[in-house]
Structure 1
Amino acid sequence: RFSNPKMFGGEGATEEESYDAMDDWYDRALAAGFGFKSEEEKQEYIKSIGDPMKHPLFAQTTEDLEGHPLTEAFRVLREEDKTLVELAEMYKEEGNQWIKKSTKKDYEAAFDRYSHALTYLDKADKAREDGTECTSDSTADLKMIRSQILSNRALSSLNLTNYGRCYKDCDRAIYLWPGNLKAHLRKCKALYMLKKYPDCIAACKAGLELDATNKDLLNYAKQCDTEYTQKRLAKREADLKILSTLTAQWSSVWNYARNQNVTLGYPQYGAPEPKELRDIWTHLDMGDAATGTSATLRWPVLLQYPQYGTYDVLSGAGRDDMLVEHLGMAFPEKEDCGPEDRIEWDVDDEYHVSNLAVYVQLHSTKAVTSENEWLEACMEQRILLQGGNVDLLGLLKATKTAPTASTASTTVEAESTNTTVSSLDNIPETTFEKLKSRAELREKKYWETLMDTVTGKTITTTGPGLHSSSARFLEVHLGCTIGTIAKAHSPSHVLPRGVLTLLIYPKDNRLHKLFVEQNKGKIVALMP
């Protein structure tokens, strides 16, 4: 009884009389041959229409209408006798009606209608290319129509807070029709909400070329300039504070190394540092290392295993620690190991402390000759390999030279007085690629010079017990202390960015024998 019973009872009939009249009408219709002839026929019909509650008559949203045969049939009727451009305009107007409402569903429906409109414009473009275009469509400015629809669809995305999709549609709309002021305005708002201040300022500038008095564009430009300046100043001040901390630590390392006769060097860019060594000095207790009298400074040690192409990192080994102490913990003797203690990558079970040969490479990288060079090397390493969040390169160029620990803190105060974007943007910066090329060229020249020296002249060395001018490696006795190894044969022994690097082989295995053979006459023993 979905129908209105009063349609059957007539004027003045009671509700009961109306229902009786409706039942009588149904009886007479069935007697006349209308309706289902059998229960089977009724079930077949129900099966053919699917779930009755999904029928378009019961649709609650536009999504409920989609995909039903009746919906598609009505759509065909609506689109009948219309050209492709007319269909695009029809769906554009439907989208305009939906977007005037204020719910998420309305904005989604508007986006859907604008997308339908663009589909028909795509077909119109193809028809124009193929020469099958309707005469009435031939005068239409398809670029302008598409630009308007894209701009409107961008508004629906803006209302749905999908700012990325919004400004992409605006970009397409502006490309098709640079004079589309609405697209410029909506792009500015989307970029502002995404906090892409430089892009927003540029977008505002482009829009103001069309309408120099547009209040919305002027407001966005002003807000972006203010917020962008504050953001840059806050970041610069934070960066300078971090830089002050870093340079203080790097300077402490330099002073300590100089007092301990340890030679520091540039990073080895051909072999990037493991991630465990990133900002390693910030993790160590510097103590009063700047005086050169403290034993609290702990050296980071990189243990390399060439046979398996892997490594370990000792985050900080004490100056007076014996090498055997650390290796003994990492590689216990075979008789002290159970199956669960076996190192996974040591397939031949060869790495045990008494069976290890340890080497240090000499002339491994170019030595730094001043504190400024050392600070610059540390900065380069952070920029090129470590991906630090501090704009060290910009700060370095702004101060013209590597700031020392004593000058970094005063730079914070001076930098924080800047109040305009333009003053910050004038800082000269070298690109990442240029900095990388400079580092690679320096290392290349160093190795070319070293090879010329080895093959033609005498290498100048100062370490005690270095008998061969062409020595390239030290064989380290496990009883040596970390401090002894770090300063051995300085300046021939250079610590890349202050990291003590040790090469470790199992004694007398195939790879170790090959190493010894290739470096015959170039290996010198380092004893405790």
Structure 2
Amino acid sequence: MEAQRQNAAGGEPQAERQGQGRGLPEEEEDDAMDAFLDKFRSQPYRGRLHEDTWEQELDKIPMFMKKAPSEINPQENPELACLQSLIFDDERPLEEQAKTYKDEGNDYFKDKDYQRAVASYTEGLKKKCSDPNLNVVLLTNRAAAQFHLGNLRSALNDVLAARKLKPSHLKAIIRGAMCHLELKNFSEAMSWCDEGLRLDSKEKKLLDMKTKADKLKRAEQRDIRKAKLKERKEAAQQGMLLRAAQARKIRLASTASDEEEESVPSYVGLVSQDAVGARVSLDDSGRLSWPTLLLYPEYGQTDFISAFHEDSRFIDHFMVMFKERPVWDLERKYRPNNLELYFENEDGDEMYQVSPEHTLLETLQHPRYLVRAWTPVFMVFAKQSSFCKKFMQGRKVHWLR
């Protein structure tokens, strides 16, 4: 009894004195702990993160990944490969598998990775589950991803397929209207909007799209009318110019094919950017002004007269153009009274010298002159220059009186 009182008063139980309930003396337990710690120090934990590369290592752990890799290598990411096999288990019901791909596609869509979203929705559709509502969602979601990728025809095919399963699916109708609007099928876009508004008359997207489609359709029709009116005016003006040229007995190269059958003139390659957009005009008094190109073969230079009145003389233009020496005329030989003017015949083997005192009309009325593309072309040389003599070799030269 005394021993029991001593124990109750604070004496330590025998079991605790012999190792705190584990059956080991205190000295042996301390030795075992020291050995464990020594082993731990000598053999560091192999799964620890390294100080320099911990962020990269942490990103390989599925729970901490910022973004899953596009292709999973089981050897590099065994944990992720295991999770993937669980998620995409082919033994699960088809509806569950399709839903998993739908959810995966939605995640990609939120990240704006539309290409992968399309791939995920496509895998879901391949499961051919029996749930029509799920298939409709997969189709409309894939249509949205295709739309963002710019694959409008593919997107439209998806919404058409979705509507075969569920004609009243509002999201499919909205996305179909969007596709038609982007494809500039304004009438079809308005028709799809009307169908959707019969289901929900307050749907803002459809109301806005219909207003936009109607506005664009009216603008398109207005542009078509303007283009047709402009075409008719140009045809009438072209007819007037053609009749004016025929009345003056000026020969015109009628079509591009006619010009192709002719020999290529020697001045091909010498062009003027200023010539683009200039056109023959007929003034109120019935006189013609021609866009005219002057070539200087010796230096590969050109001058362009946008409106050479048919009653004006060449010398009148020379007096203005050569009032100051051109920068390319280093020998100062291109002066108004020291110039010779020529044109080629159709075959390019004969040259006709024109007096600078002649008017443009007198020259164009020569029976051997052919106006190509409604733009007369003439060559200018310095008088008696060695280049001019060499250029004329092998050609017949005629003086136009």
- The reply to whether TM is greater than 0.5 is yes
For 1:231, the aligned partner's letter is A
SS at match of 1:118: helix
The question of whether the paired residues in 2 share the 8 Å contact of 1:204 and 1:220 is answered with no
Distance 2:275 2:113 in 1: 54
Structure exhibiting the larger radius of gyration computed from Cα positions: 2
Give the C-alpha shift of residue 489 in structure 1: 1.8
For 2:285, the aligned partner's letter is T
The question of whether the paired residues in 2 share the 8 Å contact of 1:303 and 1:503 is answered with yes
Which of 379, 388, 396 is matched with 1:507 structurally? Answer: 388
Offset from partner CA, 1:173-201 (integer Å, 9 cap, x none): 64799556458625532234426125735
Is 1:189 matched with 2:171?
no
The question of whether the paired residues in 1 share the 8 Å contact of 2:118 and 2:146 is answered with no
Give the alignment's Cα RMSD to 1 decimal. Answer: 5.9
Give the C-alpha shift of residue 40 in structure 1: 10
For 2:151, the aligned partner's letter is R
Offset from partner CA, 1:213-245 (integer Å, 9 cap, x none): 666899799658733541233214543665587
Distance 2:41 2:89 in 1: 33
1:525 aligned partner: 399
1:155 aligned partner: 144
The question of whether the paired residues in 1 share the 8 Å contact of 2:314 and 2:358 is answered with yes
| Pairs within 5 Å for 1:216-365 | 226-227=214-215, 229-239=217-227, 242=230, 262=250, 266-269=254-257, 277-281=275-279, 289-292=283-286, 298-302=289-293, 312=302, 314-316=304-306, 318=308, 319-322=312-315, 333=329, 335-336=331-332, 358-361=342-345
Give the C-alpha shift of residue 526 in structure 1: 1.7
Q: Structure 2 vs 1, CA of residues 507 and 96 (structure 1 numbering), >3 Å: closer, same or farther?
A: closer
Give the C-alpha shift of residue 145 in structure 1: 8.5
Offset from partner CA, 1:235-294 (integer Å, 9 cap, x none): 14543665587578757856875787655553434659977544312xx8x6x822036x
Long gaps (5+) in structure 2: 1-32, 261-267, 382-386
Distance 1:475 1:213 in 2: 78
For 1:51, the aligned partner's letter is Q
1:384 aligned partner: none
SS at match of 1:290: coil
Q: Structure 2 vs 1, CA of residues 311 and 496 (structure 1 numbering), >3 Å: closer, same or farther?
A: farther
For 1:495, the aligned partner's letter is V
Distance 2:379 2:68 in 1: 67
Distance 1:155 1:29 in 2: 65
Is 1:118 matched with 2:108?
no
For 2:140, the aligned partner's letter is S
For 2:388, the aligned partner's letter is K
1:498 aligned partner: 374
The question of whether the paired residues in 2 share the 8 Å contact of 1:146 and 1:173 is answered with no
Larger fraction in helix: 1
The question of whether the paired residues in 2 share the 8 Å contact of 1:320 and 1:481 is answered with yes
Q: Structure 2 vs 1, CA of residues 109 and 493 (structure 1 numbering), >3 Å: closer, same or farther?
A: closer
The question of whether the paired residues in 1 share the 8 Å contact of 2:143 and 2:155 is answered with yes
| Pairs within 5 Å for 1:392-403 | none
Q: Structure 2 vs 1, CA of residues 79 and 232 (structure 1 numbering), >3 Å: closer, same or farther?
A: closer
Q: How many residue pairs end up in the alignment?
A: 335
2:188 aligned partner: 200
Identity of aligned residues (%): 10
The question of whether the paired residues in 2 share the 8 Å contact of 1:359 and 1:476 is answered with yes
The question of whether the paired residues in 2 share the 8 Å contact of 1:92 and 1:114 is answered with no
TM-score by length of 1: 0.45
For 1:498, the aligned partner's letter is W
Distance 1:241 1:34 in 2: 96
2:103 aligned partner: 94
SS at match of 2:331: helix
For 2:366, the aligned partner's letter is H
The question of whether the paired residues in 1 share the 8 Å contact of 2:144 and 2:155 is answered with no
SS at match of 1:300: strand
Offset from partner CA, 1:386-411 (integer Å, 9 cap, x none): xxxxxxxxxxxxxxxxxxxxxxxxxx
| Pairs within 5 Å for 1:137-148 | none
SS at match of 2:314: coil
For 2:400, the aligned partner's letter is L
1:346 aligned partner: none
SS at match of 1:51: helix
The question of whether the paired residues in 1 share the 8 Å contact of 2:121 and 2:142 is answered with no
TM-score by length of 2: 0.55
